[in-house]
Amino acid sequence: MLRQSSRLLTRATTMTWRRPFSTDLPAANRVDSTFPEAWKKVIPNTEPPMTPSAFMKPRPVTPLSIPSKLSVNFVLPYSSELSGKEVDMVIIPATTGQMGVLPGHVATIAELKPGVLSVHEGNDVTKYFVSGGFAFVHANSFADIVAVEAVPLDQIDPNLVQKGLTEFTQKLSTASTDEEKAEAQIGVDVHSALNAALTG
Indicate which CATH number applies to the domain containing 117: 2.60.15.10
Task: Please state at what angle helix 158-174 crosses helix 178-199, rounded to 10 degrees.
Answer: 150
Q: For residues 164 and 193, state if they share a domain.
A: yes
Predicted pLDDT at 37: 85
Q: For residues 121 and 148, state if they share a domain.
A: yes
Q: Is residue 49 part of a domain?
A: no
Name the residue type at position 160. L
**Which is more confident, 51 or 86?**
86
Q: Is residue 33 part of a domain?
A: no
pTM listed for this prediction: 0.63
- Residue 58: pLDDT band with limits 50, 70, 90: low
Name the residue type at position 17. W
Q: Is residue 165 part of a domain?
A: yes
Predicted pLDDT at 25: 47
Q: For residues 172 and 130, state if they share a domain.
A: no
Name the residue type at position 153. L
pLDDT(33) > 80: no
Q: Is residue 106 part of a domain?
A: yes
Average pLDDT over residues 150-160: 89
Structural domains in the chain (count): 2
Range of 194's domain? 156-199
Q: Is residue 173 part of a domain?
A: yes
Q: For residues 147 and 74, state if they share a domain.
A: yes
Phi, psi of 11 (to 5 degrees): -65, -40
